Amino acid sequence: MLDVAAAPAPELPRPRSFWRRIVDRMAAFVGAQRPATPPEKSVAFTIAVIALGAKLAKADGRVDRAEVAAFRRVFTIPRSEEKNAGRVFDLARKDIAGYDAWARRIARMFSPGDAILENVVEGLVIVATADGTMHTAEREMLDEIAAIFGISAERMAGIIDRHDPDSACPPCKILGIPPDASLDAGRKRWRELIRENHPDRAIAEGLPKEAIRLAEARTRAINDAWQKFRKSRESLQS
């Protein structure tokens, strides 16, 4: 028979102090899994954008050096990955087949309406117009990519008008105002667009360098459109 009185009392753990509990909580927090890498900084996104850009450059039947240079200027590639990126680009530009599949891969990485998708399209427009013109095949491909990304035809037209030298659009088209808009209406819309597209906003939101450069390009185009619209209205009033 077990002698309960003789059995040693179990050693209970000492109660943790308030500070010990705080330390334990901090240790658990520090050791917790880090948030997933943002899609726009993932390897999969980089590969998909490179493939899409290469296929777009090939859409008019040839790959112009200016288009390749524009791609490298808009879509930043780490120096350590330039060689691998070059291989992906060379493989993808052999033909345009499958560009829609790459576009859908990118679309699935983001929520509908995410600004990154519009930034990708605008970057591709810059690549397409880098040789001084936009080929019909390039425009058709861009329209299809925009549709896959959920970008409306109206917004797509505005993006192209900012960069396509052949569009010869009036300033009111860039500003998104009717041709008969008053000077005050044009000024109001210009201010709204500057607030929405200013680079400082992209910086404050922590967007990648590509998005900031695109915001700078958009702001220049908007300011230029406003100056032309203002001068045209002032000349009519004089």
The yes-or-no verdict on residue 5 having pLDDT over 70 is no
For residue 34, the model assigns a pLDDT of 47
What is the share, in percent, of the chain residues with pLDDT greater than 70? 79
pLDDT digits (tens, 9 = 90+) for 42-92: 778 888 888 888 888 888 777 777 877 888 777 777 777 777 777 777 777
CA neighbor of 43 nearest in space, from 132, 96, 109, 126? 109
pTM, 2 dp = 0.60
Structural domains in the chain (count):
2
Q: How many CB atoms lie within 10 A of CB 95?
A: 11
Q: Which of 135, 167, 199 is the last residue of a domain?
A: 167
Q: Which of 167, 195, 224 is the last residue of a domain?
A: 167
* Residue 123, domain member (yes or no): yes
CA neighbor of 117 nearest in space, from 88, 87, 156? 156
Q: Pick the residue with more confidence: 180 or 196?
A: 196
Residue 97 and residue 42 share a domain? yes
Residue 128 and residue 45 share a domain? yes
Residue 136 and residue 64 share a domain? yes
Spatial contact of 186 and 232, defined as CB atoms under 8 Å apart: no
Residue 99 and residue 211 share a domain? no
pLDDT digits (tens, 9 = 90+) for 146-165: 999 999 988 888 888 777 76
> CB burial class (10 A; 0-12, 13-18, 19+) of residue 200?
exposed
Alpha helices in 59-182 (DSSP H): 65-74, 82-92, 99-108, 115-128, 136-149, 153-163, 171-175
Which residue's structure tokens are 């900084």? 41
For residue 158, the model assigns a pLDDT of 81
Q: What is the mean pLDDT of the chain?
A: 78
The DSSP H or E segment spanning 176 is none
Instruction: Give the C-alpha separation, 138 to 151, whole Å.
Output: 17
Residue 128 and residue 77 share a domain? yes
90-99, 119-128, 224-233: least confident range = 90-99
Domain holding 185, by residue range, is 170-238
Instruction: Give the C-alpha separation, 74 to 84, whole Å.
Output: 18
Residue 140 and residue 51 share a domain? yes
* Residue 187, domain member (yes or no): yes
Residue 177 and residue 149 share a domain? no
* Residue 28, domain member (yes or no): no
Q: Pick the residue with more confidence: 166 or 193?
A: 193
Residue 159 and residue 134 share a domain? yes
Q: Say which CATH number the domain at 140 has.
A: 1.10.3680
Residue 57 and residue 138 share a domain? yes
Q: Which of 118, 134, 167 is the last residue of a domain?
A: 167
Residue 185 and residue 128 share a domain? no
Residue 156 and residue 84 share a domain? yes
* Residue 128, domain member (yes or no): yes
Task: For the chain, state the CA radius of gyration.
Answer: 27
40-54, 92-106, 183-197: least confident range = 40-54
* Residue 32, domain member (yes or no): no
Q: What angle do CA 141, 143, 148 make, to 5 degrees?
A: 95
Q: How many CB atoms lie within 10 A of CB 119?
A: 24
Instruction: Give the C-alpha separation, 49 to 199, whole Å.
Output: 22
